[in-house]
Amino acid sequence: MRQRFPFAALFLLFPLLVPTAHTQTSLDTIDSVVNHAVDDHLFPGAVVVIGHDGKIVFRKAYGMRSLEPAREPMTVDTIFDMASLTKPTMTALAVMQLCDEGKLDVNEAVAKYIPEFAVNGKQSITIRQLLTHYSGLPPDLDLKAQWQGKQEAFNRAFNSVLAHPPGARFQYSDINYIVLGALVERISGLTLDEYAQRFIIGPLGLDHCRYLPPESWIPQIAPTQYDENGKMLRGTVHDPTARRMGGVAGHAGLFCSADDAAAYAQNLLDKLAGRPSKFPLSRAMLEKMIVPEQPATGTALRGFGWDIDSPYSSNRGTLFPVGSFGHTGFTGTSMWIDPVSDTYVIVLTNAVHPNGGKSINSVRSEVADAAARAFGVIPDGGALAAHITGYNESLSGSRRWAARNGEVKTGIDVLEADHFSELAELAKSHGGKLRLGLLTNQTGVDGAGRRTIDILFHEAAAAVPGLTLETLFSPEHGISGSADHPGIANSTDTATGLSVISLYGNSDAERHPSIDTLSKLDAVVVDLQDAGVRFYTYETVVRYFLEAAAKTGTTILILDRPDPINGSLVQGPLSDPGTESYVNPMPLPVRHGMTLGELARYFNQQLHLNAPLTVVQMQGWQRGDWFDSTGLEWINPSPNLRNLEEATTYPALGLIETTNVSVGRGTDTPFQLLGAPWIDSLALAKYLNHFDRPGVRFVPTSFTPQSPYPYAGTLCHGVQVIVTDRNVFDAPETGILIASALEHLFAGNFDVKKINTLLANQSVLTALENGDDPGKIASGWDEALHAFEEQRKSALLYPER
């Protein structure tokens, strides 16, 4: 998920500024860049203002303000039609002010405040989705029809039809901000221009910034383009929709000088840095505006109003880090702000004058780069992005690169390389003797494929005087990992003759290590490959050992292994407190993003167990590594997780496997299939694909599971889950989407209540039973996920990068 990061700390954590003697030389290159663009007729003229460390360090006008009907030179006090810069500077700020006052909630549906907006399937669209352009609404109102007036525009926006399912994809849309403008007016009781003047422009002291500029400003305003009647627009908004609305709209209509834009940016930076500031928003709420707030799987990074990294953020250039922010306007305006280097870059042009403009993206980028070079901004390799978003700069919208060629040493490899020093220290603390137990299965092997059992029994015993491996413990599926039934009996390991105590008996007591057994051991080593999913029972067994060890004083030593589905992505609803079970060790999201060692630390901290715990960390593993980036051999952690593809979809289909459907157990592709005899596969696939979820598609299929699994020998119809991009695939949300689809299409057959065995979240179950939109259901657990991510930080052991 997205991570919050306090921007005031960025100045300490990211020292990107390097003293340079070439500051003025670098800024002087802006002259050649802009003059060359003027000579190439990319725009008639421009004003560039750059601020750094609280001061304006560059302020120049270039070229002509007007070419037609008369030629006028550009001046630094020229006022520009700001176009879409209206969105973040006025409308989004107004929305966040109302949020700060408790008058709205960005996670609520727009229809809560504007009921008439709910028509045509828009009842679940949230204010957050409007702010970040993930609503699914089309780009603009239909201008082919003859209509006029603000209220008519509102009515058309409220009655618009979705182009895409809400939350599914980024689509820049003026309708989003037309609706947000209406929202501000509905809640405040003021027109948008009145609200902006009273609560934004006035408090900031901006003298040449407003909607509907007065006649006296006209000579100072840069003209834009001839309108449909052949009249040159000057002081009248260029955007045709805003013009039909009377010049005041949430998406366009603001006029502003470069100096006032600079004052706006400087006050914003001052507020972020904790300096005296007139910026009319609390610092905490401002920080929400400028960090990624789009859906966790969104591929365009958008704050509330501000652009961070999307197809529209070319004005960032190539040197300012992902994590800085800004916006552009169609008329040729742009603003980019970098709180780390304490810099803003404003480039205002009337590029559409006189007959429509050309692309000026390259000019914006070159000016930004010149400013960045002048102040010694060094490309940070994505460090800022990783800290505030968890994203890597080279892969927008993905928390990590797709893969890398890593060489990971697991805990047992590190233990061997250290000549068992951790065990030697334990032996010393126990008077030169160390009675060991070992919780493991077939995944407990070193890089050479040797069993951890044999390594501890022979090599560790020889290296550490007094060490003896005395007892083995096995989790679900047994010591060999091949049993797929409860009631696994105790056994003996033939190679060593050691007793194997099964912790997957029929009763609850038979799934806990006994206090009596642990009291006879000085330490228990744990070497298990986890699946990174809350209901995978190896995690619960580790909790049970910690609880017992807290009573006996036995040390638990975890030989850590990777989270196979990476440790960066944290997804899905948290289980409810009080629902703990063998498939739910404690309140956790479905996909928690922790290794077993980190999870043990989390249990110890959050449950206040204070058990003696040591984690032998891996070497070379990074949080964003999927298993195929580790260089390790895949060993099935359980009979039906046979490869990384199945592990990737397991948090989706595993979530619903306790209902009355087959999830492909008893086929060659478990956890990639979903079906039942009563499902219409074509209808289900069509319905699911309609939601257009990022990174996943659904293909109609039929299959026949084999014994002893559900529907053995019976033809099942359903879908195959195809992951097209694992870095944006939200598996638990997909599981909820599937459950919602089954309840919607096959309510008479699907037993949705049974999902709660693994879901363990009553509010989500109730929402499914009520037929709530699956996107709205998913947004409902966002706040709890943020809180969990904060809680887990102290338990983490491995870096993002």
Closest CA to 273 of 319, 325, 338: 338
User: In angstroms, rounded to a whole number, what is the distance separating the alpha carbons of residues 63 and 566?
Assistant: 53
Helix (H), strand (E) at residue 366: helix 361-374
pLDDT, tens digit, 9 for 90 and up, residues 565-597: 999 899 999 999 999 999 999 999 999 999 999
Q: Which residues are registered as beta bridge partners of 527? A: 440
CB 392 within 8 A of CB 358: no
CB of 596 closer than 8 Å to CB of 538: yes
Q: Is the dihedral of CA 171, 172, 175, 176 positive or negative?
A: positive
Answer for the pair 502, 478: CB distance below 8 angstroms, yes or no.
yes
Q: Look at residue 647 and tell me whether its pLDDT is greater than 80.
A: yes
Read off the pLDDT band of 392 (50, 70, 90): very low
Give the number of residues written for the chain: 801
SS3 744: helix
Mean pLDDT, to the nearest integer, of 634-641? 96
**Residues 782, 787, 788, 791, Cα dihedral to 10°:** 170
pLDDT band at 12 (very low <50, low <70, confident <90, very high): very low
Query: How does strand 499-502 pair with strand 467-474?
Result: parallel
**Alpha carbon distance 357, 284 (integer Å):** 39
| Phi–psi pair at 786, nearest 5 degrees | -60, -45
Helix (H) or strand (E) segment spanning residue 647: helix 644-653
The verdict on whether omega for the bond into residue 708 sits within 30 degrees of 0, i.e. cis, is yes
pTM of the model: 0.73
Mean pLDDT computed over 102-115:
95
Query: How confident is the model over 125-173, as pLDDT tens digits?
Result: 999 999 999 999 999 999 998 999 999 999 999 999 999 888 888 999 9
pLDDT at 801 over 70: no
Rounded-to-integer distance, Cα 294 and Cα 291, Å: 9
| 275, two tokens | 């300096």
Please say whether the beta carbons of 255 and 193 come within 8 A: no
Q: What is the CA radius of gyration of the chain?
A: 30
Two tokens, residue 641:
């997780």
- Whole-angstrom Cα distance, residue 524 to residue 545? 8
Which residues neighbour 42 within 8 Å (Cβ) at sequence distance 6 or greater? Answer: 351, 357, 358, 359, 360, 363
Long-range contacts of 643-649 (CB under 8 A, 24+ apart): 644/564, 644/565, 645/672, 645/723, 646/670, 646/671, 646/672, 647/531, 647/532, 647/564, 647/565, 648/565, 648/723, 648/726, 648/729, 648/731, 649/721, 649/723, 649/731
Residue 612's pLDDT band (cuts 50, 70, 90): very high
Q: Is 140:790 a contact under the CB 8 Å cutoff?
A: no
Q: Which of 540, 536, 528 is nearest to 585 (CA)?
A: 540
Residue 261: which pLDDT band, with cuts at 50, 70 and 90?
Answer: very high
pLDDT at res. 772: 92
Q: Which two tokens stand for residue 521?
A: 């051991």
The pLDDT value given to residue 379: 62
DSSP character at residue 451: B
The answer to whether the CB of 338 falls within 8 A of the CB of 319 is: no
Q: Which residue has the higher pLDDT, 675 or 385?
A: 675
pLDDT value for 357: 74
Element of type H or E holding 778: helix 774-779
Residues 6+ away with beta carbon under 8 Å from 507? none
Averaged pLDDT of the chain: 92
What is the H or E stretch that residue 696 is in?
strand 696-703
Q: Quick check: 534 pLDDT over 70?
A: yes
Is the sign of the CA dihedral 247, 251, 252, 256 positive or negative? positive
**What's the pLDDT at 396?**
36
What strands, in cross-sheet order, belong to the sheet with 716-723? 673-676, 716-723, 696-703
CB 268 within 8 A of CB 281: no
**Is a pLDDT exceeding 60 seen at residue 6?**
no
Selection from 365, 239, 380 nearest residue 312 by Cα: 365
Cβ atoms 567, 531 nearer than 8 A: no
Angle between helices 782-792 and 596-606 (to 10 degrees): 90
Q: Can you tell me the mean pLDDT for 343-363? A: 93
Q: Identify the DSSP state of 87.
A: I
At 391, the pLDDT band (50, 70, 90 cuts) reads: very low
Least confident of 388-397, 651-660, 766-775: 388-397
Q: Could you count the other beta carbons within 10 Å of the beta carbon of residue 127?
A: 25
Q: Mind spelling out the 3-state secondary structure of 28-58?
A: HHHHHHHHHHHHCCCCCEEEEEEEECCEEEE
- End-to-end CA separation in angstroms for the chain: 16
Amino acid at 600: A
Q: Is the pLDDT of residue 258 over 80?
A: yes
Q: Would the pLDDT of 108 be above 70?
A: yes
What residues contact 65, with CB distance under 8 A and at least 6 apart? 44, 45, 72, 73, 74, 75, 78, 222, 223, 350
